[in-house]
Amino acid sequence: MRLGVHVSIAGGLLEAVARAKRLRCTTMQIFSRSPRGGRVLPLDPRIVQRFDQERRAAGIDPLAVHGPYILNLASPDTGLWTRFATLYAEEYRRATQLRAQYLVTHVGSHRGEGESAGIRRVAEAVSLALATRSDVIILLENTAGSGQGLGYQFEQLAQIRELVKGQERVGVCLDTAHLFAAGYAIHTADGLEQTLTAFDQVVGADQLKLIHLNDSKVPFQARVDRHWHIGEGQIGFEAFRRIVTHPRVRSLPLILETPKDTEAEDQRNLATVRRLAQSPDPENACHATN
């Protein structure tokens, strides 16, 4: 099992990989810049080389870069869309410089223009980014379905991918909290199987490349994105035991994006997942983390 967390880049790339090593991560995710916008410094090739060498020497692989939150690739405003598409193409080049395997992408909101129009705009932005020659795979991330956001149904992710020029470099990242909030019943044994089967039928089993492993602070079908600590939210310990021991999931890199103010909270959530992956009894795994 490849297990890691979204690691802060505060202090720079080398401090990020040092954090991942302290947490015993075997995969990791980072932002290449501030996710909220602002001035962006170019990546220093010497630092990038050291980051890549230290990450690989520690066995931390794959590396995922998460796109900035400010981008809305489905925006109906032509001027804004052009700016977002340009920034997104730049982010794809930065992920390439970082020798990442994946660029995780929020597909955005259609802002009232309709899902079909939004899907076309996302596909166009992704196609423009893929004009850069690179081995980085873009991962479309599912959403909780709040507001006018896209990506809360597998069908939408499949439609975006089908419209992309260069779709062989486009896969999917599934977030467990988003699935649950959007109405995919992964908290039950039957629901987990039905969800994975539906994904295979609609998108394709080989397109699932990465899992964001998060519990949900909000109830099933709430259509709100609120991550919570593994096992302590509405999805629960038993469901996460089934998820992390499922043959389809165990073979994928798992990234935690659970709430944290300190590394200790990451350590606690990672320990929970490791124990759930080893224990057939969710109560034992729960008690072992206390």
Active site residues: 36, 66, 69, 106, 141, 175, 178, 212, 225, 227, 257
Instruction: Read off the DSSP letter of residue 214.
Output: -
Instruction: Read off the DSSP letter of residue 121.
Output: H
Query: Which of 169, 80, 87 lies closest to 118, judged by CA?
Result: 80
- What is the Cα–Cα distance from 110 to 125, expressed in whole angstroms? 14
- Say how far residue 285 (Cα) sits from the centre of its chain: 25
Question: At 272, is the secondary structure helix, strand, or coil?
Answer: helix
Q: State in Å, rounded, how far the first CA of the chain is from the last one.
A: 23
Strands 137-141 and 170-175: parallel
- What is the Cα–Cα distance from 175 to 196, expressed in whole angstroms? 13
- By the 10 Å C-beta count (0-12 exposed, 13-18 middle, 19+ buried), 10 is classed as exposed
Which residue type sits at 288? Answer: A
The beta-carbon contacts of 75-80 under 8 Å, at least 24 apart in sequence, are 75/108, 75/109, 75/111, 75/121, 76/110, 76/111, 76/112, 76/113, 76/117, 76/118, 76/121, 77/111
